[in-house]
């Protein structure tokens, strides 16, 4: 195995995970607003229009497909359209009138009051997106921008915007797509409750979903515990690598990846409930001596299992949260079993 490449892969994933956590600790109000506006557009008989350039164009097409086909749940098709796919329109407009108006022209032709325009841009300064945002305002569409690098000029031309705190284009696009998936998952969950199709009062969050409810408090506490685990296993992996124990480092990296996945699922559920995730610590916990790694790791995992068992009781009225917690509990229980294996230090 190419150790340098393996290290580069892990470093890149760690960078992405760190950025994701910074995003989770940021003000997510614009993302929550984006999700609610998608619901309102669909309930009002409108549609979602997506646009972007380059990799952001691919994100636009990807997300439009999630709504039209499905993401994770069986449900009726939802009206969404990427303004990046009709080559005849794109080339005719670019050739005859210029590329700056390639999206605006489609907004004028296809957009109706009550629709939502979602613009993906890492710079926020693409002329065709600025013109499209202006066209949306004229036609009567709401507009949301997913941005980075400070937001650019587009930040002040849309109704809501979320700026990913990075100057790296690829990282911004990865987070944009992840947030787009969270929003789509939220819409599907609301449809499963029946609220999107009927437009009834169940549009309000489920019992316990408010900031002071039992479900958010439980999820926030579990996130804090999971964050401690990710930092713990990352530090153990780094120490094993320094000691030249590649096999042990790989095991710890696997546990770290699992805990990071658990943390991401808890964060996503909070966003679905419309609750901003709390800021999490980033300092590495003190490490036990080498001969105490096994006992320390097993004890921490046992504490997590106990925490999830209690969480199931606290969230018993919320079916979707229960499903997520049960799946994570199964994984944590497996960790406890694995930590008794011979691959751990004796």
Residues 163-222 pLDDT 10s: 999 999 999 999 999 999 999 999 988 877 665 543 333 334 444 444 347 899 999 999
- Rounded mean pLDDT of the chain? 87
273 closest CA partner among 217, 334, 344, 342: 217
Whether the predicted pLDDT of 2 surpasses 80: no
Residue 276 in tokens: 């901003």
Mark 160-173 as b/e (b = at least 16 C-beta within 10 Å): bbbbbebeeeebbb
pLDDT computed for residue 95 by the predictor:
95
Whether the predicted pLDDT of 344 surpasses 80: no
The average pLDDT across 11-36 equals 90
Q: Which range among 24-28, 37-41, 82-86 shows the weakest confidence by mean pLDDT?
A: 24-28
Write the pLDDT tens digit of every residue in 297-321: 888 999 999 999 999 999 988 888 9
| 161 and 151 Cβ atoms separated by less than 8 Å | yes
Give all strands (DSSP E) within the chain, no chain letters.
Answer: 48-52, 80-82, 116-120, 142-148, 160-164
Q: Return the SS3 of 148.
A: strand
Q: Is the pTM of this model over 0.75?
A: no
Q: Return the SS3 of 50.
A: strand
Whether the predicted pLDDT of 346 surpasses 60: no
Write the pLDDT tens digit of every residue in 268-286: 888 778 787 788 887 888 8
Q: Which range among 19-28, 209-218, 252-261, 273-282 shows the weakest confidence by mean pLDDT?
A: 209-218
pLDDT computed for residue 291 by the predictor:
81
Q: Return the SS3 of 199.
A: coil
Q: Which range among 32-46, 92-106, 200-214, 296-310 shows the weakest confidence by mean pLDDT?
A: 200-214
Residue 17 in tokens: 């995970």
pLDDT band per the 50, 70, 90 thresholds, residue 295:
confident
The average pLDDT across 80-98 equals 95
Query: Domains of the chain by range and CATH?
Result: 27-203 (3.40.50.10490), 214-338 (1.20.1260.10)
Cα separation, 287 vs 192, whole angstroms: 45
């Amino acid at each position: 195995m190419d150790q340098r490449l393996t290290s580069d892969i892990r470093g890149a994933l760690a960078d992405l995970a760190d950025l994701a956590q910074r995003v989770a600790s940021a003000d997510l109000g614009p993302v929550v607003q984006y999700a609610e506006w998608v619901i309102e557009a669909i309930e009002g008989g409108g549609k979602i229009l997506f646009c972007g350039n380059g990799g952001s164009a691919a994100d636009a097409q990807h997300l439009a497909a999630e709504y039209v086909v499905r993401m994770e749940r069986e449900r009726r098709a939802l009206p969404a359209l990427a303004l990046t796919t009709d080559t005849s329109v794109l080339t005719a407009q670019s050739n005859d009138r210029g590329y700056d108006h390639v999206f605006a022209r489609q907004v004028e032709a296809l957009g109706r009051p009550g629709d939502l325009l979602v613009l993906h841009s890492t710079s926020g300064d693409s002329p065709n997106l600025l013109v499209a945002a202006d066209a949306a305002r004229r036609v009567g569409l709401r507009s949301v921008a997913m941005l980075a690098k400070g937001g650019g000029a587009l930040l002040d031309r849309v109704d809501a915007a979320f700026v990913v705190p990075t100057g790296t284009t690829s990282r911004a696009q990865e987070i944009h797509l992840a947030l787009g998936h969270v929003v789509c998952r939220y819409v599907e969950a609301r449809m499963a409750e029946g609220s999107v199709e009927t437009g009834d009062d169940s549009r309000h969050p489920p019992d316990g979903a408010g900031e002071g409810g039992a479900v958010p408090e439980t999820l926030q506490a579990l996130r804090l515990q999971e964050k401690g685990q990710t930092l713990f296993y990352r530090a153990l992996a780094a120490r094993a690598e320094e000691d030249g124990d590649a096999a042990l480092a790989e095991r710890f990296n696997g546990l770290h990846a699992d805990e990071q996945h658990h943390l991401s699922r808890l964060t996503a559920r909070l966003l679905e409930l419309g609750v901003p995730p709390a800021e999490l610590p980033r300092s590495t916990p003190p490490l036990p001596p080498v001969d105490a790694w096994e006992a320390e790791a097993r004890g921490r995992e046992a504490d997590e299992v106990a925490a999830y068992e209690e969480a199931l009781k606290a969230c018993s009225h919320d079916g979707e949260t229960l499903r997520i917690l049960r799946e994570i509990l199964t994984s944590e229980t497996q960790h406890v079993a694995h930590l008794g294996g011979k691959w751990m230090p004796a």
